[in-house]
Amino acid sequence: MTTRNVSIALACSLLIAGCSDPHTEQPEQRRPQQAGQPMDPVRTAGHIAGARMSALAGDQQGVQRSINAMSEDMRRAMKLADASRPIDREAARAIARATPGVRSANWIDRSNLLVRVDGAQLRSQQTIDELCIRLEPLGDTLAVVVHLQDAAPATHEGMDTLSRNCQLAEGDHALMQRNRTVDALDPAIRAQQRAYNEHVRNQPTREQGAGDRAALEAMKEM
């Protein structure tokens, strides 16, 4: 293939790519705001450079903006909730209750929101994501932990509460945020009980029969 043909083929492929239907692309699912990420060195250097340039130009407001941006990045990296943007708890409760599938929503304390949903399929991380996104206009959701329960669980596993800070991974907590357990029985103890029951169910029938015979023999001697 000549150089001219290669150029024509490349131009055609670019033209086809540019004419692809944008409606066929799947939109990226929105995620809640995320905290706890390390500070970006490039971004931090940009803030410092911006502050220096503003200082040389005598722009004090520009200096303050750069300092505030760097402080905000540090706060989020430290997983520290913004005390200047507290969540309005009554407004948050109303928004949660208006979410499809939610049966009730109530605050346990200033940080922990207990939400009960209709059905095991709604007791999921996706539901927590949706709730947290709906709460973002009210303030800093890093101060909010959502505890999700199935209002009418059909299994023992369905009785477990799914808990997560809005902006952190499951099991992680914001700085100075107290870990709150809402289950009557510790989930770790319940998990151990489930593992034990599964172990008993998976025991071979022969071993169970031998144990039964040994117990009967012991009863005879008694």
Which one is the CATH code of 89-193: 3.30.450, 3.40.50, 2.60.120, 3.30.300? 3.30.300
Q: Which residues contact 84 (CB under 8 A, 6 or more apart)?
A: none
Closest by CA to 95, choosing from 80, 105, 103, is 105
188: Cα within 13 Å, side-chain hemisphere: 2
What confidence score (pLDDT) does residue 130 get? 97
Using alpha carbons only, what angle is made at residue 110 by residues 106 and 116, rounded to the nearest 5 degrees?
Answer: 25
**Are the CB atoms for 33 and 166 separated by under 8 Å?**
yes
> Over the stretch 63-118, which tens digit does the pLDDT of each residue have?
999 999 999 999 999 999 999 999 999 999 999 999 999 999 999 999 999 999 99
Q: Hey, what amino acid is at 7?
A: S
Helix axes 41-56, 60-77, angle to 10 degrees: 160
What confidence score (pLDDT) does residue 217 get? 57
Q: Which residues contact 138 (CB under 8 A, 6 or more apart)?
A: 87, 88, 91, 92, 95
What confidence score (pLDDT) does residue 70 get? 93
Low-confidence ranges of the chain (pLDDT < 70): 1-28, 184-201, 203-222
pTM of the model: 0.69
Helix axes 89-97, 125-135, angle to 10 degrees: 130
What confidence score (pLDDT) does residue 196 get? 60
Residue matched to tokens 């059905």: 119
What confidence score (pLDDT) does residue 194 get? 61
Residue matched to tokens 């750069």: 66
